[in-house]
């Protein structure tokens, strides 16, 4: 049996390829939208991608299942569980709990494991040449290493009303009736690792086992004692804010992400092209480091540095209704464009390598010692609510950066807004968005940490 894990460090997302080397067939589970990595791996292993599936309707990234099936001719298999509101709205073979299919000599069984979402499936894999016993469980957003998928996302980001309690009850039953009925030796490969917002304390190692989670997880004692009330209270407590772009991802993944097909290379634009596109409504996405943006900030640009969290912040602060022009090097532009596909930002009209000759103004943050001089300003804390609850500047309003584009109407345009986060990374991007939207914005250098040190 061939096995490979693919991992996106930005969104802490894992997808998997499982293949039968004897028959040359393979399955991809939870693929992302940039499918070249799967095509390249299959070719290098002399495998054909014959099956594609996913564990659930994802909320944190745009799925590549439809794209991969369309380009390879693979059979697309998707959950038909969860009820009418949770059915996929594009053509695919349906999977129900207990259904099995074979990929060469590998048997895959679908297990309905609702809780994170109503339609959620996990996939139990057996390597038949070695026997019928299961070897791996691909658990999606059901069981993580040391944690569970959060059941409150549908309330937080997808317009649900009190669905978290139904989800918690489903999660409890899924653990009791599905997960804990498996042998201890079964490997568990989840769809996310540490850093994902789909849980609150995910482990950093890539996999676990049923036995390890049975013995050491925080939730196992509650299930053993049949304490659903205690389990629910602990599961729902302390969950981080959910970025609001999750609602858009959920709807697009349910309805069917637009197919990319064969995409032409991204064009480099001259000054006249850039000016014309910006005047036509495009947004300049400045991917340079914060310090370079602060020194020369192009007017109406949003600064999301081309680093580890580029996809995450792009999902937080940008919407697909507005096309983008990248301020990026020629070496980085194409890869950044592909990373934007992860969060459904497809309309990139080109790139420019320099900010020279574009209208610009400095955007330097001010020192924490100068905060009293901004006494009439709204202090906007763009950290998570859990961070805010641990300590905050008196009078500050908490609003997670991932909610800004949808809450601009709630912010004052006649007052200065002082933006800060914990140390400065998130607030730089958030402040640039507010500035591009016409707000009177300044930024606290060093964030809450600098302010706290100044009080000592």
Q: Any idea which residues carry the catalytic annotation?
A: 421
- Judge whether 363 and 443 are in contact, CB under 8 Å: yes
Q: How far is Cα 209 from Cα 214, in angstroms, rounded to an integer? A: 9
In 3D, which of 417, 410, 444 has the Cα closest to residue 428?
A: 444
Q: How far is Cα 212 from Cα 231, in angstroms, rounded to an integer? A: 19
In 3D, which of 100, 102, 80 has the Cα closest to residue 90?
A: 80
Q: How far is Cα 27 from Cα 17, in angstroms, rounded to an integer? A: 6
* Interacting residues of 412 by C-beta distance below 8 A, sequence separation 6+: 378
Q: How far is Cα 164 from Cα 432, in angstroms, rounded to an integer? A: 34
CA triple 308-310-313, angle to 5 deg: 120
Which H helix or E strand runs over 247?
helix 245-255
410: DSSP letter: G
- Bridge partner list, 5: 16
The structure tokens 């009209």 sit at: 349
- Bridge partner list, 380: 397, 419
What is the SS3 assignment for 168? helix
């Amino acid at each position: 049996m061939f096995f490979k894990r693919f991992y996106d460090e930005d969104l802490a997302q894992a997808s998997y390829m499982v293949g039968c080397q004897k028959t040359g067939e393979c399955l991809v589970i939870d693929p992302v939208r940039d499918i070249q990595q799967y095509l390249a791996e299959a070719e290098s292993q002399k495998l054909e991608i014959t099956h594609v599936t996913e564990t659930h309707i994802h909320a944190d990234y745009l799925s590549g299942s439809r794209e991969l099936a369309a380009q390879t001719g693979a059979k697309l298999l998707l959950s038909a569980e969860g009820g009418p509101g949770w059915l996929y709205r594009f053509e695919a073979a349906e999977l129900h709990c207990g259904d099995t299919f074979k990929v060469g000599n590998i048997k895959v069984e679908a297990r309905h494991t609702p809780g994170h979402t109503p339609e959620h499936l996990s996939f139990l894999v057996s390597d038949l040449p070695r026997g019928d016993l299961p070897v791996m469980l691909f658990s999606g957003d059901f069981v993580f290493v040391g944690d569970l998928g959060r059941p409150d996302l549908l309330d937080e980001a997808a317009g649900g009303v009190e669905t978290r309690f139904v989800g918690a009850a489903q999660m409890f039953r899924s653990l009791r009736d599905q997960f804990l009925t498996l042998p201890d030796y079964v490997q568990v490969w989840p769809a996310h690792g540490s850093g994902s917002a789909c849980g609150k304390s995910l482990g950093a190692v890539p996999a676990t086992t049923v036995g390890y989670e049975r013995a050491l997880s925080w939730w196992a004692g509650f299930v053993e004692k049949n304490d659903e009330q205690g389990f629910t209270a602990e599961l729902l407590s302390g969950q981080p804010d959910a970025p609001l772009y999750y609602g858009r991802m959920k709807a697009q993944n349910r309805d069917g992400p637009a197919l990319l097909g064969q995409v032409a290379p991204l064009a480099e634009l001259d000054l006249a092209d850039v000016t014309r596109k910006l005047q036509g409504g495009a947004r300049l996405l400045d991917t340079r480091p914060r310090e370079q943006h602060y020194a020369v900030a192009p007017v109406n640009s949003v600064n999301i540095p081309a680093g580890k969290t580029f996809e995450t912040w792009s999902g937080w602060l940008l919407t697909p209704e507005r096309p983008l022009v990248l301020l990026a090097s020629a070496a980085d532009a194409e890869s950044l464009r592909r990373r934007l596909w992860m969060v459904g930002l497809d309309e990139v009209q080109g790139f420019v390598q320099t900010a020279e000759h574009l209208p610009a103004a400095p955007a330097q943050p001010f020192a924490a010692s100068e905060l009293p001089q901004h006494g009439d300003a709204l202090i906007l804390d763009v950290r998570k609510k859990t961070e805010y609850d641990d300590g905050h500047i008196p009078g500050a309003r908490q609003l997670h950066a991932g909610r800004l584009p949808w809450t601009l109407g709630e912010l004052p345009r006649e007052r200065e807004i002082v933006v800060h986060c914990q140390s400065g990374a998130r607030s730089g991007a958030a402040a640039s968005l507010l500035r591009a939207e016409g707000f009177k914005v300044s930024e606290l250098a060093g964030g809450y940490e600098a302010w706290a040190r100044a009080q000592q």
